[in-house]
Amino acid sequence: MKKNDVIFLITAFAIILLDQITKYYINSYMSVGDSSPVIPGFFNIAHVRNPGAAFGIFSRSPEIFRTVFLITVTTAALILILYYVRMNRERDTLMNLALSLIFGGAIGNLIDRIRFGEVIDFLDFYVGPHHWPAYNVADSAISTGAVLLLVTLIWKRRGKDG
């Protein structure tokens, strides 16, 4: 097994583990709708359920459509990431990290979707009455991975053009 593969697996596993441990804690010790201030006026830990995708997309769609669609899309994305990782052995460290964060986050949310039919979110940032949609460790990993992937692709593109 190559170094990149080991880093990919360890990072993805760490994200999945941290995501599931935090969601287990929230699900075990808070009722849905409960909220506890951490930084008053800015950040709460809250137990929120999201039946949809990012920002609640598809949350009002029929449950069977939403569940099948989101599980299928997530599974396809995971397969594509694994295919890329297997076929591109020369990927750089930043690309590898980006893909492992996205992969681990996607699996973390997929586990919730299969177990509960929705995703447990708990990080609630806000200013006054304006709340950012609640999210979780998996969402954070996916977002961070997506930004790193974009930076890597732009960086590689500039290297070819310049």
First-last CA distance in the chain: 34
Which residue is catalytic, options 19, 112, 124, 139? Answer: 139
- Output the DSSP codes for 65-119: HHHHHHHHHHHHHHHHHHHHHHH-TT--HHHHHHHHHHHHHHHHHHHHHHHHSSE
Establish whether 34 is a catalytic residue. no
Establish whether 139 is a catalytic residue. yes
Tell me if residue 122 falls in helix, strand or coil: strand
Burial (CB < 10 A; 0-12, 13-18, 19+), residue 145, is buried
Which residue is catalytic, options 19, 112, 121, 124? Answer: 121
The two three-digit tokens of residue 116, written as one number: 């509960």
Catalytic residues: 121, 139
